[in-house]
Amino acid sequence: MPGLARLAEIGEVGGVLPVPLVETPEALLLGMGPGEGQLRQGPLTVSALGADPPQRSTQFHVSVLSVCDGVVGAAEFLPSDEDAREIVRLAERLNTKSLTFIPGEKLDHGLVWEALGDMETTAAAAAVGRAMRECLPEGDGERVLRRFIDDGVNLLSETEWNDRREEEGMARLNLLWPWGQGVRMPVPNLALRRGSPCWVWSDSMRMAGLARLCGYRHAVLGGLGHGLNLNVRGLCAELGSRDCALAVIDGFSDWRAAGQVDEAAWMMKELDGALISPLLELAREGSAHVSLILTGALGGVCGTCFLGARGGGSAPLDERALEEPRLERKTIWERVEESLVEAGIAEERSAGAGPGV
């Protein structure tokens, strides 16, 4: 593609080692090593929703699901905005001195238990299709959490809008399911470490929560669309207007796993023409630093373009580079760290006159 070919021609191409299995891979995408920023789902969700609970508290992600005849079911149809507000209103009635519901969006919310303890919960995806009694929380705090679940079922089941959903052939949204429990662990302040703040764009609540904790700003979730509905030109405008910015576009792995090659190829063509090429024009003018990292389970390739980049390399910026033995390979967090540090330096050089992306 023209943009990728141009980046390989005028920039520097390097390799990316396979991404290791860690609790929070989002930390690696922000340039933290495997020993940093590793948090459970609950603390990430609560952070993404803008809440700062007491230090000695256990935090959960709450998924809105369905239960019928004792079996947990997925929420196949999203609630309307009005019904979503009603879910929050009823859920907040379940608050106690030690338990606080944190409102989110549609089917994803948070919960804070102002206590610590050892417990086991079942992730929402793992609970679907199973008997609810087999998946209930166990261990410290199980009495509090099971009462929260039971009371939630009683409140949500007896609503007119759930009756209406059932009449229309949709499952009732009558189950508030807490899972992913954890505590908020210390996270390095990357804005201070690198000497520059950064804006982050992604379609991930987990990424939004982690970015907030490390001193970065995350754009509004869903603001630029997602999947095939990604507003590529809008993203380009946003990235190009910031001093330092990072975008994570992760739909390709899902398309590839589903065999949707045409969808992946179409989106890559959109990114090449409406995002990569325009940003390279800024880099060519010396007013931006641009890095593109393409990675997957087997590793990946990185193309970097900035003022003074050597260019002229023989490695292509695609999967063929994975077979190039002479390519210098680094971890993804090293590649991101280098890029964001260089972007901050570029910002200082230009006194804020141009972006580092």
Examine the domain organization and report whether 202 and 236 are in the same domain.
yes
Measured CA to CA, the distance from residue 259 to residue 179 in angstroms comes to: 31
Please check whether residues 125 and 141 belong to one and the same domain: yes
CB 238 within 8 A of CB 337: no
Residue span of the structural domain in which 147 resides: 44-182
pLDDT at 351 over 60: no
**Given pLDDT bands bounded at 50, 70 and 90, which one contains residue 353?**
very low
Within 13 Å and on the Cβ side, how many CA atoms surround 78?
A: 8
Same domain, 171 and 230: no
For 246, residues 6+ apart whose C-beta sits below 8 A from its C-beta are: 29, 30, 198, 199, 200, 201, 216, 336, 340, 357
Asked if residue 125 and residue 8 are part of one domain, the reply reads no
Lowest mean pLDDT among 261-265, 272-276, 305-309: 305-309
Three-state secondary structure call for residue 65: strand
What is the C-alpha separation between 346 and 348, in angstroms, rounded?
Answer: 5
> pLDDT category, 350, cuts 50, 70, 90?
low
Nearest C-alpha neighbor of 44 from the set 198, 213, 160, 193: 213
**What average pLDDT does this structure show over 11-32?**
93
What CATH number is associated with residue 219?
A: 3.40.720.10
Contacts of 236 (CB under 8 A, 6+ apart): 274, 275, 278, 279
On whether both 238 and 178 belong to a single domain, the answer is: no
Domain boundary among 182, 202, 224: 182
* Among candidate residues 204, 177, 37, 207, the one with its CA nearest the CA of residue 111: 177
Of these ranges, 36-50, 155-169, 281-295, 316-330, the one predicted with the greatest mean pLDDT is: 36-50
Confirm whether 355 is domain-assigned: no
CA distance 47 to 59: 10
Mean pLDDT of 287-299: 84
pLDDT at 157 over 70: yes
Last residue of a domain, one of 167, 182, 197: 182
Q: In whole angstroms, what is the distance from residue 124 CA to residue 176 CA?
A: 10
Q: Which of 182, 217, 232 is at the close of a domain?
A: 182
- Please tell me the pTM assigned to this model: 0.91
Q: How many domains does the chain have?
A: 2
